Amino acid sequence: MSLPFRIDPTLVNALRGANFVTALTGAGISAESGIATFRDASEGLWARFDPRELATPSAFARNPKRVWDWYAWRRERVAEAQPNAGHLALAALERRAREFVLVTQNVYGLHQRAGSRNVVELHGNIARVKCSRDGTLVERWEANEDEVPRCPDCGAFLRPDVVWFDEMLAEDALAAADKAARRCDVLLVVGTSAEVYPAAALPDSARASGAVVVEVNPNATALSAAADHVLRGAAGVVLPALLSSLD
């Protein structure tokens, strides 16, 4: 069901005249690739799993195998998924824009598979695995049904290279995201509930720097009231329409 959304001509002009466009994406842009979001009550990932039991350092310390297996399961789901029309539209927008940065909270690498090049992964990427002791990335590991693979150098458990609750984001990623928010003329906020900081602060930074802020989401969020334009629809429908409106 496609919701009624209208692309205001002032938004089209703002995008056409933009020297710098930034997109901030959340789990919602992968929904049409068949990957569940986190907080959508019906089928969200958190509906079936308790994040405190899976995506925190203490959960990993308590039960590393359960956490490792959950991410292995999610890696399999992602491998089966394909980028959708929303991912592809953002990659096409990047090719049209004078300058374009895609800041994502997602950890699945679907933007890169869709052709996006300038991607800032705020919360890491589950395809990457690192030593849980010193964070060294590890290219290969022995998959083992019975126990969590260990770092070949120090023997500590391996873990996914993602940012868990209670963990700090990588400073370089956060700095790049904040710079992209402050320099852009238009910020497209796509498929995020805008509840998790510091990502949720980026639209404020963009607006404070004079950017036009656009929300693309079938549902209202904490950001909706402050957005200059709200395109109430699915990313896979709205973003291609937004791209076409520029022709």
Q: Which residues bind ligand APR (CB under 6 A)?
A: 26-29, 31-32, 37-40, 44, 105, 123, 191-193, 195-196, 216-219, 221, 234-235
Q: Smallest distance, Å, CB 154 to ligand APR?
A: 27
Query: Closer to ligand APR at the Cβ: 154 or 222?
Result: 222
Minimum CB distance to ligand APR, residue 39 (Å): 4
Output 39 or 65, the one with its CB closest to ligand APR: 39
Locus of tokens 């929904």 = 31
In the complex, minimum distance from the CB of residue 41 to ligand APR, in angstroms, rounded to a whole number: 10
Choosing from 87, 111, 123, 229, the catalytic residue is 123
- What tokens appear for 3 in the block? 């919701």
Per-residue b/e over 94-110, b at no fewer than 16 CB within 10 Å?
Answer: beebeebbbbbbbbbbb
Q: Smallest distance, Å, CB 213 to ligand APR?
A: 15
| Closest to 130 in 3D by CA, of 171, 159, 95 | 159
Catalytic, 123? Answer yes
In the complex with ligand APR, which residue's Cβ is closer, 125 or 151? 125
Residue nearer to ligand APR on the CB measure, 90 or 186: 90
157: which residues sit within 8 A by CB, 6+ positions away? Answer: 60, 64, 68, 132, 148, 149, 150, 151
Distance (Å, whole) CA 145 – CA 233: 41
3-state secondary structure of 84: coil
- Catalytic amino acids? 123
